[in-house]
Amino acid sequence: MSRFPKNFLWGGATAANQCEGAYNVDGRGLANVDVVPVGEERLAIITGQRKMVDFEEGYFYPAKDSIDMYHHYKEDIALFAEMGFKTYRLSIAWTRIFPKGDEVEPNEKGLEFYEKLFKECHKYGIEPLVTITHFDCPMHLIEEYGGWRNRKMLVFYERLCRTLFARYKGLVRYWLTVNEINMILHAPFMGAGLYFEEGENQEQVKYQAAHHELVASAIATKIAHEIDPENKVGCMLAAGQYYPNTSHPRDYWAALQEDRENYFFIDVQARGTYPNYAKKKWERLGIDVKMTDEDLDLLRAYTVDFISFSYYSSRVASGDPEVQEKTEGNIFASLKNPYLESSEWGWQIDPLGLRITLNVIWDRYQKPMFIVENGLGAIDKPDETGHVADDYRIDYLRKHIAAMKDAILEDGVELLGYTTWGCIDLVSAGTGEMKKRYGFIYVDRDNEGRGSLKRFKKKSFDWYKQVIASNGEDLD
């Protein structure tokens, strides 16, 4: 009987700004993600349309304290270990290492924090999977240099990478260069520290910044391998295949165009060159991305070792301007698919879409893949003991794991591992809410920042433990 690969990396994922808190502790500097409040203006801020560069009166900023993992990491990692995690995906807060971003010397306290955390993981045989930047950019780099629109970011990012690779050699082997790199087009402040000035050509700015991120990612891959040939470097895409709304050819064409907007990034990171369709698009839109021959050489020479992605839902596109019924999704909305159910936040649930996405990415690149985010954001109602019977989450994960299993065992895609998103409840990136929970572990904290921060195991905790213990055989 065919089974999941023996060394399959089961685990869970978090991001620094959504769980660490301690935003001003031990020398940490201010980051873009700190100054994104909950509420109506959040979307305008993360998309760079409304400028917020510091805390303002009258707003609640959930990332300041979050679930305070900075002070709870031992307890949290022990719980991950109890579930049998083989890997734990986390991200580095850039501002713990370089508080302003352009210093020459790193902040020792920040380096120590992650060193202790990685050692704690290894104590339990958990392999850290580290995202170098997950919606995270020092505010100083944004105010002083304009974020990733500025080429100087290459120098600062390279310094960050060199520091991390040198210091954590032997402790970390799996690295992701930029979280959901395609988010730069949809949430540019969060993805690249960009906000826009009046009358600016926003597409031009976004693609220039994207070029800088892509070259930075290639440089990171190069030096990761130089410092430790054991290092494996991956790109990271907010994935989810587009379906045509009908069999009308113009709908298929629309879906292809939408897919290309996302795969554009991975085409460069996995294949090493800018695709012709992108060059043509830039020509049509009058976008002139400044790049050097050396940049192009770097992109060509240092493609990624593996392709990681988040998957929450498939998407739908139509070429008919009359068809407009949209649904919410991971930052960018898509047309509504009448065949699918939706989460409480309107994200549509499509396990087969995960199998389709895995197959498309495999066919396109033929590189090992890693699903580094998948999960259901839902409202949990703990009983008086703090226990949550989250059968809806188990149901979502079970179906997605089954689909992933089909992709591996029936279709033969190569997959390194699977980390569910928000393995412990944390702050939502899209809405800033705490009540949108993904975890196996309930954290007592509410949308307004109240609560004891105590951790409780949900029903899904034991279920996932059994999934891992059986290496994906027992999903009931």
Active site residues: 373
Q: Does 187 bind ligand BG6 (CB under 6 A)?
A: no
Among 430, 443, 445, 455, interactor with ligand BG6 by CB under 6 A: 430
Q: Does 238 bind ligand BG6 (CB under 6 A)?
A: yes
Stretch that binds ligand BG6, among 118-126, 294-302, 424-432, 445-453 (CB under 6 A): 424-432
Token pair belonging to 369: 């893949």
Token pair belonging to 168: 């954590």
25: CB partners within 8 A, 6+ apart: 70
Among positions 153-182, residues that touch ligand BG6 (CB under 6 A) are: 179-180
Cα-to-chain-centroid distance, residue 435: 19
Its sign, for the CA torsion 380, 381, 383, 389, is negative
CA 452 to CA 65: how far, in whole Å?
12
3-state SS assignment for residue 276 = helix
Amino acid at 81: A
- DSSP label at residue 164: H
Q: Nearer to ligand BG6 by C-beta: 38 or 117?
A: 38
Stretch that binds ligand BG6, among 46-54, 58-66, 426-434, 465-473 (CB under 6 A): 426-434
Among 80, 145, 421, 464, interactor with ligand BG6 by CB under 6 A: 421
Q: Nearer to ligand BG6 by C-beta: 38 or 415?
A: 38
Q: Does 377 bind ligand BG6 (CB under 6 A)?
A: yes
Among positions 306-325, residues that touch ligand BG6 (CB under 6 A) are: 310
Q: Nearer to ligand BG6 by C-beta: 30 or 237?
A: 237
Task: For the CB of residue 91, give the shortest distance to ligand BG6 in the complex, in Å.
Answer: 9
Q: Does 188 bind ligand BG6 (CB under 6 A)?
A: no
Stretch that binds ligand BG6, among 119-127, 160-168, 225-233, 425-433 (CB under 6 A): 425-433
Burial of 275 (0-12, 13-18, 19+ CB in 10 A): middle
Among 4, 9, 12, 15, interactor with ligand BG6 by CB under 6 A: 15
Provide the 10 A C-beta neighbour count for residue 112: 13
Stretch that binds ligand BG6, among 380-388, 409-417, 428-436, 440-448 (CB under 6 A): 428-436
Which residue, among 370, 374, 423, has the nearest Cα to 396 in the 3D structure? Answer: 374
17: CB partners within 8 A, 6+ apart: 31, 33, 34, 63, 66, 91, 93, 134, 135, 136, 427
Contact indicator for 27, 110 with CB cutoff of 8 Å: yes
Q: Nearer to ligand BG6 by C-beta: 421 or 440?
A: 421
Phi–psi pair at 29, nearest 5 degrees? -90, 180
Amino acid at 296: L
Site string (85-124) toward ligand BG6, x via CB under 6 A: ----------------------------------------
Among 34, 373, 380, 425, interactor with ligand BG6 by CB under 6 A: 373
CA 220 to CA 160: how far, in whole Å?
9
Task: For the CB of residue 142, give the shortest distance to ligand BG6 in the complex, in Å.
Answer: 19
Task: For the CB of residue 99, give the shortest distance to ligand BG6 in the complex, in Å.
Answer: 22
Q: Which residues bind ligand BG6 (CB under 6 A)?
A: 15, 18, 179-180, 238, 310, 330, 373, 377, 421, 428-431, 436
